């Protein structure tokens, strides 16, 4: 009761809404499994409806809360990176990961270059702004791409397309960071005239990438040893608590950032290394389930705010020229650079087309733009946010509406039944006959 009336307290309303949100996180994926629709589309729609109410006073626009926008998107991405790394069954090697190196080494740099030219030369953006936007839009997203990624650990749902899109999203979030720093360095050099190239190459590229990989590997080995290989009575796997994965995520990211290396890269490498220390242990499934649940809740909150930002004017500064840029990025640049990167790669045409098409843009792009704008001065910031917001929205709609029919078609073309896994109950809902083996017996 509020002020003698029967109006509920705001925090009670918030508790109720958060409970409904968690229920939707658990239930909607089951409902949407066979529909040409995705959970992110539902979340954005709910956010738009919620923030259309005049009673909702919160301003969800990222410009109103630049630090929160950066930190919240950062958290969502690192959780998604841990989940992506834990569910990859394929053993790491240069040959087996050939599709990944092509997408990272050819497709992503080509995409950055073409977006810079499109914005700077074609649409008159300042070159530093064009580079920041290109770096923000280059990486595919580990958060919104779950429908095109591999399945949970040990399920066997890892064809070349799903593996390529998962591993690409896991690594390119870290490898796009040097280009963000390049835009920041060029912006600073334009006003101060100080040299930037040597520092950028040695520090932002070599040190931060190599340091991120090494730190991620060391932390992954340490957590793997503590979890699976210390004496049986004290190893962490006996806890049965998948929160260990969250601990590994935060420790990996935090320690790596403390030594000024790329934490995104470290988290994904930590996940891969953690998984490799005991690849077939059932605890890997529990850790993945925990990270996936946290990721879905955080993603849903973020997309509710994104939907609210859309109805509160995020796209207001966008022009028709910007709309053309958004379409070019999603339907021309990514598919074209994807196919170029896959030239000579041994895969069916349908697989190459699918890999090239699903260059999903999402939370990673929002993070990089927030980070860049918080570290450099640019004009027309509202327009930059509007363009990135439009590209993320179009990506969610385009890829969300097409992912189910395309992936089901691909499964059938490869001789798999896309409905086979529906016969098994989802994780956590196994009956007595399907209950997991007690941890003490593993």
Within a domain: residue 428?
no
State the DSSP code for 91.
P
Q: d(Cα 128, Cα 155) in Å, to the nearest integer? A: 45
Do 363 and 80 form a contact (C-beta atoms < 8 A)?
yes
Do 78 and 264 form a contact (C-beta atoms < 8 A)?
yes
Do 245 and 295 form a contact (C-beta atoms < 8 A)?
no
Residue 252's closest CA among 87, 372, 86, 73?
86
Q: d(Cα 244, Cα 235) in Å, to the nearest integer? A: 11
Residue 264's closest CA among 334, 150, 367?
367
CA distances from 59 to 40, 202, 288, 350, 378 (A): 20, 41, 34, 44, 22
Q: Write down the pLDDT at residue 424.
A: 40
Decide: residue 360, CB within 10 A, 0-12 exposed, 13-18 middle, 19+ buried. buried
State how many domains the chain has. 1
Q: d(Cα 83, Cα 433) in Å, to the nearest integer? A: 27
Kindly tell me the sign of the dihedral angle through the C-alpha atoms of 225, 231, 237, 241.
negative
Q: Write down the pLDDT at residue 404.
A: 81
Tens digit of each residue's pLDDT (9 = 90 or more) over 127-155: 999 999 999 998 898 887 777 877 778 77
Q: d(Cα 153, Cα 283) in Å, to the nearest integer? A: 10
Within a domain: residue 26?
no
**Beta-bridge mates of residue 5:** 2
Do 314 and 61 form a contact (C-beta atoms < 8 A)?
yes
Tens place of pLDDT for every residue, the chain, 442 residues?
445 556 566 667 667 777 877 777 777 666 666 666 677 888 899 889 889 888 788 899 999 999 999 999 999 999 999 999 999 888 888 889 999 999 999 999 999 999 999 999 988 899 999 999 999 998 898 887 777 877 778 776 678 899 999 999 999 887 899 999 999 999 998 888 788 999 999 999 999 999 999 999 999 999 988 888 777 666 666 666 778 899 999 999 999 999 999 999 999 999 999 998 887 788 888 888 889 889 988 998 999 999 999 999 999 999 999 999 999 999 999 999 999 999 999 888 999 999 999 988 999 999 999 999 999 989 889 999 999 999 999 999 998 888 888 888 888 887 776 666 543 433 333 333 333 434 443 3
Range of the domain at 168: 32-421
Structure tokens at 178: 């040097």
Within a domain: residue 347?
yes
Within a domain: residue 105?
yes
Residue 50's closest CA among 303, 308, 296?
308
Burial 98-132, CB ≥16 within 10 A → b, else e: bbbebbbebbbbbbbebbbebbbeeeebbebbbbb
Within a domain: residue 10?
no
**Beta-bridge mates of residue 2:** 5
**CATH code of 285's domain:** 1.20.1530.20
Q: What is the SS3 string spanning 252-321?
A: HHHHHHHCCCCHHHHHHHHHHHHHHHCCCCCHHHHHHHHHHHHHHHHHHHHHHHHHHHHHCCCCCCCCHH
Residue 111's closest CA among 439, 366, 428, 336?
336
Q: d(Cα 211, Cα 254) in Å, to the nearest integer? A: 13
Within a domain: residue 436?
no
Within a domain: residue 298?
yes
Structure tokens at 121: 């030369």
Q: d(Cα 223, Cα 229) in Å, to the nearest integer? A: 10
Structure tokens at 183: 């835009």
Within a domain: residue 4?
no
Close Cβ partners of 411 (under 8 Å, ≥ 6 residues apart): 417, 418
Residue reference for tokens 């934490």: 263
Q: Write down the pLDDT at residue 422.
A: 46
């Amino acid at each position: 009761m509020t002020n003698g009336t029967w109006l509920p307290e705001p925090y009670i309303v918030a508790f109720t809404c958060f409970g409904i949100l968690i229920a939707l996180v658990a239930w909607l994926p089951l409902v949407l499994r066979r529909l040409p629709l995705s959970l992110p589309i539902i979340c954005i729609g709910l956010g738009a409806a919620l923030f259309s109410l005049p009673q909702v006073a919160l301003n969800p626009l990222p410009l109103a809360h630049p630090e929160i926008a950066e930190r919240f998107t950062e958290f969502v991405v690192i959780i998604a990176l841990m989940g992506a790394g834990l569910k990859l069954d394929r053993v790491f090697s240069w040959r087996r990961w050939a599709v990944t190196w092509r997408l990272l080494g050819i497709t992503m740099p080509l995409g950055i270059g073409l977006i810079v030219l499109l914005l700077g030369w074609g649409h008159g953006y300042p070159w530093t702004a064009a580079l920041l936007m290109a770096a923000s839009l280059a990486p595919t997203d580990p958060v919104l791409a779950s429908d095109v990624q591999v399945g949970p650990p040990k399920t066997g749902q890892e064809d070349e397309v799903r593996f390529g899109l998962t591993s690409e999203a896991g690594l390119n979030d870290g490898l796009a960071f040097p280009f963000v720093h390049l835009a920041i360095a060029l912006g600073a050099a334009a006003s101060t005239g100080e040299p930037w190239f040597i520092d950028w190459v040695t520090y932002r590229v070599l040190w931060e990438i190599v340091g991120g990989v090494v730190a991620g590997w060391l932390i992954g080995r340490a957590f793997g040893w503590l979890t699976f290989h210390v004496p049986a009575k004290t190893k962490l796997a006996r806890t049965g608590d998948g929160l260990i994965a969250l601990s590994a995520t935060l420790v990996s990211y935090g320690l790596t950032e403390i030594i000024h290396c790329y934490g995104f890269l470290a988290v994904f490498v930590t996940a891969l290394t953690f998984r490799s220390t005991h690849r077939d242990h059932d605890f890997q499934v529990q850790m993945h389930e925990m990270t996936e649940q946290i990721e879905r809740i955080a993603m849903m909150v973020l997309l509710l705010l994104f939907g609210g930002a859309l109805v509160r004017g995020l796209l207001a500064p966008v022009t028709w020229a910007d709309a053309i840029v958004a379409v070019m990025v999603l339907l021309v640049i990514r598919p074209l650079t994807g196919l170029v990167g896959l030239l000579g790669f041994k895969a069916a045409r349908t697989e190459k087309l699918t890999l090239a098409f699903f260059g999903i843009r999402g939370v990673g792009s929002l993070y990089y733009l927030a980070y860049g704008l918080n570290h450099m001065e640019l004009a027309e910031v509202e327009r930059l946010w509007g363009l990135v917001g439009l590209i993320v929205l179009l990506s969610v709609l385009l890829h969300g509406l097409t992912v189910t029919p395309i992936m089901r078609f691909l499964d059938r073309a490869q001789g798999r039944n896309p409905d086979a896994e529906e016969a098994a109950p989802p994780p956590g809902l196994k009956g007595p006959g399907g209950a997991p083996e007690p941890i003490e017996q593993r």
